[in-house]
Amino acid sequence: MSEVKISAAQVNELRKATGAGMMDCKKALVEAGGDFDKAIDVLRKKGQKVAEKRADRDSSEGAAAVRINADNTVGVAIVLGCETDFVGKNESFLALAGQFADIALNFDNKEDFLAADFGGMTVAEKLVEQTGVVGEKLEINAFERLEAPYVGSYVHINKIGALVGLSEKEETVGKDVAMQVASMGATSLSYKDFDPAFVASETEARIAVIEKDNIELGRLGKTLKNVPQYISMSQLTPEVITQAEEAAKAELKAEGKPEQIWDKILPGKMDRFISDNTTLDQEQCLLDQRFIKDEKVTVEAYVATKNVTVTDFKRVSLG
């Protein structure tokens, strides 16, 4: 039986539909006897074989993609993972990530998104097919969705995607705070969201690390690190603040500072006390972080000047 003749037009059509290379498309069409749908199945089965072989591979590279709906009230952020940075930077791979994000915008969760239609197959099947095309394990490593009166976004060099929900439309604030989320990696909106047990455990761990460091610093004759009593505003009760103020006044008295000037000095000392004892908030709480565009204010203070509030945020990244 002679080999079926495959035209360049047939190969090109299959290539556009699947993204596979020209030779792979031609071989699939030959194997399928020129039948377009069967050729797609051939490529899909190839993808399944490759996916099975690479199931245990690490897909820590890839691309982050963000999409916002037309009225800026819903946003989605995903990460399409692959094995190497080389593939992750490829234009066709980035385009595929964008196509997946377009579809993801219509779904509330990752499970429904993976079951969604992608040109006659599911998203999950498309991932398998493209695994065969690319030759690397492909999967959706992250899926985050956010709804708010206004959703702002930011993507950092296709590696980090951020969504921010605001109480009302304010484009500049949306982008600024999304950049903050992307660059500073907050995990909570506010210290008020922390579980007390987590704060207690984290306090104990951090103090232990500093005390251990101080042993070595002391041995070397270097300045010791400050050992904080607390690490979050959630621990600074009115009683703790009052005790700190009394301690600051006692210190001023011991230094011989005239009592009539204490009111000018105390605010600075209390600000320092709070700063030294809220390190967890500054690291992990978006609203309590120093604003990257003006470190004199917190993110909460910045958005307050624009008469909006941050309702929520989401962040996705590689790895």
Torsions phi, psi for 120 (to 5 deg) = 95, -5
- Report pLDDT for 129: 86
Tens-digit pLDDT profile for residues 177-222:
999 999 999 999 999 999 999 999 999 999 999 999 999 999 999 9
Neighbours of 122 (CB within 10 A): 14
Q: In whole angstroms, how far apart are CA 186 and each of 49, 166, 183, 286?
A: 40, 16, 9, 5
Domains and CATH numbers, the chain: 8-53 (1.10.8.10), 61-166 (3.30.479.20), 192-307 (no CATH)
pLDDT at 2 > cutoff 70: no
- Report pLDDT for 48: 67
Tens-digit pLDDT profile for residues 33-69:
888 888 877 877 776 676 677 777 788 899 999 999 9
Tens-digit pLDDT profile for residues 60-115:
899 999 999 999 999 999 999 999 999 999 999 999 999 999 999 999 999 999 99
CA separation for the pair 159, 62 (Å, rounded): 7
User: Model-level pTM?
Assistant: 0.80
CA separation for the pair 178, 170 (Å, rounded): 12
